[in-house]
Amino acid sequence: MKQDLFNSIAAGNLPLLAINLFPARDIPDRAIRLGTCLTYRCAAVSRDVTYDQWTALLANIAQLAKLCAQPHAAKIFRSIGVRRPRTVVIDLAREYAYAWDVAESNGLVLSAAEVLRVTRTRPVNDQLAAEFRALADTYRLVLQAMAPANGNALFRWLSESASVHIAQAQAVQAAI
């Protein structure tokens, strides 16, 4: 299973996997569930901005996973001490799935087709460090859009994810 997943990600199919994994989530419009928002201040959040930020986050993760699956990235990872570069890709795939779940648990219904469209329209950047930085920046933008309470699980996950990807960018940059 992991080899098939890796090969699929290397071919750029992580968003397509999402459509298969989350078919019920493939809602064509910008639907956001109404109701109580417990983890962020709904009144302070533009629903379109939140939707767009989560879509961008998923597109960034997908693009980075594809880039990390390329042979030149494996060489960079090995040079900084990563013994199994494929685990970086698999971890990004898990992060992608987890981000879907976090968005949904916070009342946001995303469209897998829209994520796929955004992923395909993003410019291709072979600069691994820049892509890790871009992902960290996207996490920060989601954090700002969601405005979660300081210290709650959503705040910790978003801020820690941004920190991890900044550290990865710095490690990769040092290896180049």
Residues 33-68 pLDDT 10s: 333 343 334 434 466 788 899 999 999 999 999 899
Say what the pLDDT of residue 24 is: 47
**pLDDT tens track for 121-149:** 988 777 999 999 999 999 999 999 888 87
* Mean pLDDT along residues 103-109: 86
Give burial (CB, 10 Å; 0-12/13-18/19+) of 75: exposed
Crossing angle for the helix pair 14-21 and 2-10, to the nearest 10 degrees: 130
What is the C-alpha to C-alpha distance for residues 162 and 135, in angstroms, rounded to an integer? Answer: 7
* Mean pLDDT along residues 23-41: 39
What is the C-alpha to C-alpha distance for residues 144 and 128, in angstroms, rounded to an integer? Answer: 25
As a whole-number percent, the residues of the chain with pLDDT over 70 amount to: 73
Distance of CA 172 to the CA centre of its chain: 18
List of residues 6+ apart from 48 with CB closer than 8 A: 30
Say what the pLDDT of residue 37 is: 40
Q: Which two tokens stand for residue 32?
A: 């956001």
List of residues 6+ apart from 140 with CB closer than 8 A: 158, 162
| Higher pLDDT, residue 14 or 121 | 121
Choose among 58, 73, 78, 70: nearest CA to 17.
Answer: 58
What is the C-alpha to C-alpha distance for residues 15 and 151, in angstroms, rounded to an integer? Answer: 31
Say what the pLDDT of residue 33 is: 36
Say what the pLDDT of residue 38 is: 36
Sign of CA dihedral 35, 40, 41, 44: negative
Choose among 110, 133, 91: nearest CA to 27.
Answer: 110
* Mean pLDDT along residues 71-99: 90
User: Is the per-residue pLDDT at 164 higher than 90?
Assistant: yes
